[in-house]
Amino acid sequence: MPVKTFRAALNEALHQEMARDPRTIVLGEDITGGKGATGEKDAWGGAFGVTKGLLDAFGEKRVIDTPITESAFVGAAAGAAVTGLRPVAEIMFVDFLGVCFDQIFNQAAKFRYMFGGKAVTPLVIRATFGAGSRSASQHSQALYPLFTHIPGLKVVIPSTPYDAKGLLIEAIRDDDPVIFLENKLLYDTTGDVPDDSYTIPFAEAAVLREGSDVTIVAVGRMVSVAMDAAKALATEGIEATVIDPRTASPLDTETILEMVEETGRLVIVDESNPRCGFAADIAALVAEEAFDVLKGPILKITPPHTPVPYAPNLEDAYLPDAARVIAAVRRVMAHGE
Amino acid sequence: MTDLHALPMPKWGMTMTEGTLVDWLVPEGALVEQGQEIAEVETTKIANAVEAPVSGILRRQVAVPGASVPVGGLLGVIGDAETTDAEIEAFVSARVSISAESDDETPAPRLVETVGGPINVLSLGGGAGIPVVLLHGYGGDLGSWMFNVDALASDRPVYAIDLPGHGASPPRAASELADLAKAVFQVCDALSAPRVHLVGHSLGGAVALTIASTKPERAASLVLVAPVGLGREIEAEYLTAFLAADRRRPMKQALGLLFSDPDAVSSDMVEGVLRSKRRDGVPQALAATLEGFFDPASGQTQELRPALSGFDGPVTVIWGDVDGIIPPAHADGLPKTSEVHLVPGAGHMPMMEAASAVNRLLTAHFSSADRSG
């Protein structure tokens, strides 16, 4: 099986879908140019190198470099989607989507509903998210709960190169607006990725590990944090199930509940803000639907409710890590049995 | 002179990096025969028994039940009665220090270019013996043989292949039985293996029979494991559920029907099948393959008993006696030249469920087939 980076897996998904379906276009800032470059085209392939090579393969009509105006090109993408194209808009940082909430929340997310189901909006908005890159509070947030909150949007958060490719192809082929969020610290991670095109259905959690003592739910980069914790816990005889919902909306509630029923304990690892967040949502689901199987409290491992700090020592302390997950698991293991 | 042998954690399949010792099946100090099942090991894919590599005394159980041991790590030590405890201690500590850096030269499957397109092949073994080609069943992949390839590869080349549209082999537009047989010729040509022993499981058995009847000169012998083609009955629920499943839960349920113990199916096994099936064009190719040997109203549509009667070479037929997919009664009334073995307690996957027993049958088949041919 070929080993590829997360970045290369996304790039391959874009290449393959653009080749398969001429309605697929990409647009965004610097995706064919490059700030600080000497004027050559496709200097970088976007701020994170994900769109590299698309310009050569598909030309300027389908690979569109935009001005620095997210509200304009996200609106253009939404309009293009509702009139027959399958646009993929790239936003450098999810933090910048604040300036186009109307385009996303009130337009794209509502077209299907407000036009009696007759309009489809096959729009994908790709954006990076997450702390840990010393980029300060306006370039580091994990805002997936904002989009999960809005009916009509689908929210995808891949954690591995394999999932990144399969979920992006699924997102492009989906007829609804999809917010596709890439943790910037994952771009250089590697994994097995088939050369063939393939899709991963939404609302299908990945079960990465099965144990009988505790269920850990995590998305994005937190999946590797949860796996590190689970491996360390195994050496002290605590066996954890680790599941990655992969999509925050729609959510695979069945797998979460099934796995909690088997272990009776739940720890959620989430790098978004704790209030009204992803972890809180899953905790509420399990408390309502599986209360009788719980042996102890549901614990949420999240950052504190603060902006992402710029000081490196504070940023490191801000992010959930394996040590915190291990401590939480030990705490819930004190309950039951 | 002491004679100590390590009992290492086996490697079953590509992705296995460690296993958990479920329990010892014999106590420390017990006399064990080569090939005897002496420990039960569980991996993320499946649980299976570990066999004694040599006859002797199980002098030391190094791993305790419940322990995770990396592939190649030491489970136990087999030796003779004369060896002192101090010698065993020395053997264990020497072994522990090397196991940390050994392994890693596990052979990986690779795509082999053939006239009709690439085919994924796991190549093992070598030497002058007639090569063995292993053909999995419908919806399966070369991982079906993870417990068998090493036992077969000791004295001959072994090729486990993914049929088109299965495992990591790309789907092809034409994927009915004759097309699959053609793909096997093509990959044998590409591997410079003009004449091979064919081992086919389920649909792979029908592929082997098709080759035996259309190009008998290419088949040195046949081993048919619960093959398609010898009767009408086949569990439609499995076939339709497998084809429809695109998610973990329904796929796990479908695959459970293959085994006498449905719990043998792990999440990793399910994930592997789903990853293959999610590739573009694969569901369509699998539907076409199914249509070629199955009709919902009448069951199996390929009548391959004449192919078996017409084949001159040695034939062994192996069937799990509680097979829930294709009834073992299909092994009744076969030509006298076919040697039939029922494997007690095994479902439709005897080569996984009763690997030791099936490995012994396979080894016996090849040594007698080599003598006769």
Q: Is the pLDDT higher at B201 or at B9?
A: B201
In chain A, the residue whose alpha carbon lies closest to the alpha carbon of B169 is A196
> What span, in angstroms and rounded, lies between the C-alpha atoms of A51 and A73?
17
- What pLDDT shows up at residue B106? 67
In chain B, the residue whose alpha carbon lies closest to the alpha carbon of A204 is B247
CA angle A294, A296, A299 (to 5 degrees): 105
- What pLDDT shows up at residue B265? 87
Residues B294-303, mean pLDDT to the nearest whole number = 94
pLDDT per position as a tens digit, A119-138: 999 999 999 999 999 999 99
- What pLDDT shows up at residue B8? 87
Q: Which of A202, A207, A257 to mutate to test the interface with B (most CBs of B within 10 A)?
A: A207
Residue A248 · residue A219 · CB < 8 Å: yes
The total of other beta-carbon atoms located within 10 Å of residue A305's CB is: 9
Residue A290's SS3 state is: coil
To the nearest whole angstrom, how far is the Cα of B281 from the nearest Cα of chain A?
Answer: 9
Cβ contacts of B44 on chain A, cutoff 8 Å: 210
- What pLDDT shows up at residue B3? 80
In chain A, the residue whose alpha carbon lies closest to the alpha carbon of B267 is A207
In angstroms, what is the C-alpha Rg of chain A? Answer: 20
Measure CB to CB from residue B278 to each of A198, A234, A254 and give the nearest one: A198
Fold exhibited by the domain A3-192: Rossmann fold (3.40.50)
Residue A286's SS3 state is: helix
> What span, in angstroms and rounded, lies between the C-alpha atoms of A23 and B168?
29
- What pLDDT shows up at residue B14? 62
To the nearest whole angstrom, how far is the Cα of A116 from the nearest Cα of chain B?
Answer: 29
Residue B348 · residue B205 · CB < 8 Å: no
Size of interface A-B (CB pairs under 8 A): 37
Candidates B72, B21, B77; CA nearest to B48 is: B21
Residues A308-333, mean pLDDT to the nearest whole number = 97
Lowest mean pLDDT among A304-313, B65-74, B326-335, B346-355: B65-74
Whether the pLDDT of residue B103 is over 70: the answer is: no
Lowest mean pLDDT among A32-46, A48-62, B93-107, B153-167: B93-107
Contact between A207 and B278 using a beta-carbon 8 Å cutoff: no
Tell me the percentage of chain B whose pLDDT exceeds 70. Answer: 95
Asked if the domains A3-192 and A206-333 are classified in one and the same CATH topology, the answer is: yes
Which DSSP symbol is given to B158?
Answer: E
Cβ contacts of B250 on chain A, cutoff 8 Å: none
Report domain extents, chain A.
3-192, 206-333
Whether the pLDDT of residue A117 is over 90: the answer is: yes
Which DSSP symbol is given to B248?
Answer: H
Q: Is the pLDDT higher at A28 or at B45?
A: A28
The residue type found at A193 is V
CA angle B209, B212, B214 (to 5 degrees): 105
pLDDT per position as a tens digit, B214-266: 999 999 999 999 999 999 999 999 999 999 999 999 999 999 999 999 988 88
pLDDT per position as a tens digit, B307-347: 999 999 999 999 999 999 999 999 999 998 899 999 999 99
Cβ contacts of A254 on chain B, cutoff 8 Å: 249
Q: Which two tokens stand for residue B167?
A: 């495992």
Contact between B267 and A199 using a beta-carbon 8 Å cutoff: no
Cβ contacts of B168 on chain A, cutoff 8 Å: 1, 194
State the catalytic residues of A: 139
Please tell me the CATH code under which domain A206-333 is placed: 3.40.50.920
Residue B152 · residue B159 · CB < 8 Å: no
Where does the pLDDT of residue B373 fall: very low under 50, low under 70, confident under 90, or very high at 90 and above? low
**Which B-chain residues 76-105 have CB contacts (< 8 A) with chain A?**
none
HEC assignment per residue over A215-260: EEEECCCHHHHHHHHHHHHHHCCCCEEEEECCEEECCCHHHHHHHH
Measure CB to CB from residue B247 to each of A162, A197, A204 and give the nearest one: A204
The residue type found at A218 is A
Where does the pLDDT of residue A63 fall: very low under 50, low under 70, confident under 90, or very high at 90 and above? very high
Cβ contacts of B170 on chain A, cutoff 8 Å: 196
**Which B-chain residues 263-292 have CB contacts (< 8 A) with chain A?**
266-267, 271, 275, 278-280
Burial pattern B46-60, b for ≥16 Cβ within 10 A else e, equals: bebbbbbbeebbbbb
Helices (H) and strands (E) in chain B, counts: 11, 18
Residue A136 · residue A310 · CB < 8 Å: yes
Helices B282-291 and B267-277 cross at an angle (nearest 10°) of 90
Cβ contacts of A199 on chain B, cutoff 8 Å: 278, 280
Residues B19-47, mean pLDDT to the nearest whole number = 86
Mean pLDDT, chain A, whole residue set: 95
Contact between B248 and A196 using a beta-carbon 8 Å cutoff: no
Instruction: Spell out which chain A residues touch chain B, with contact meaning CB-CB distance below 8 angstroms.
Output: 1, 162, 166, 194, 196-201, 204-207, 210, 234, 237, 254-255, 258
Residues B87-102, mean pLDDT to the nearest whole number = 71
Instruction: Give 3-state DSSP helix, strand, coil % of chain A, rounded to 5.
Output: 40, 20, 40
pLDDT per position as a tens digit, A235-276: 999 999 999 999 999 999 999 999 999 999 999 999 999 999
Residue B11 · residue B72 · CB < 8 Å: yes
Asked if the peptide bond before residue A250 counts as cis, ω within 30 degrees of 0, the response is yes
Residue A91 · residue A71 · CB < 8 Å: no
Contact between A194 and B68 using a beta-carbon 8 Å cutoff: no
pLDDT per position as a tens digit, B52-61: 888 899 999 9
A134 backbone φψ class: left, alpha, beta (φ>0; ψ -120 to 50): left
Whether the pLDDT of residue B167 is over 80: the answer is: yes
Contact between A194 and B170 using a beta-carbon 8 Å cutoff: no
The burial class, CB within 10 Å (0-12 / 13-18 / 19+), for A84 is exposed
> What span, in angstroms and rounded, lies between the C-alpha atoms of A180 and A163?
12
Whether the pLDDT of residue B1 is over 50: the answer is: no
- What pLDDT shows up at residue B101? 47
Q: Which residue has the tokens 């306006």?
A: A138
Q: Which of B142, B279, B284 to mutate to test the interface with A (most CBs of A within 10 A)?
A: B279
Contact between A194 and B271 using a beta-carbon 8 Å cutoff: no
Contact between B275 and A254 using a beta-carbon 8 Å cutoff: no
Residue B94 · residue B150 · CB < 8 Å: no
- What pLDDT shows up at residue B129? 87
- What pLDDT shows up at residue A316? 96
Residue B322 · residue B346 · CB < 8 Å: yes
Measure CB to CB from residue A194 to each of B267, B271, B279 and give the nearest one: B279
Where does the pLDDT of residue A32 fall: very low under 50, low under 70, confident under 90, or very high at 90 and above? confident
Residues in contact with A313: Cβ distance below 8 Å, sequence separation at least 6, in sequence order = none
Q: Does residue B249 sit at the A interface (CB-CB below 8 Å)?
A: yes
> What span, in angstroms and rounded, lies between the C-alpha atoms of B192 and B87?
48
Residue B79 · residue B88 · CB < 8 Å: yes
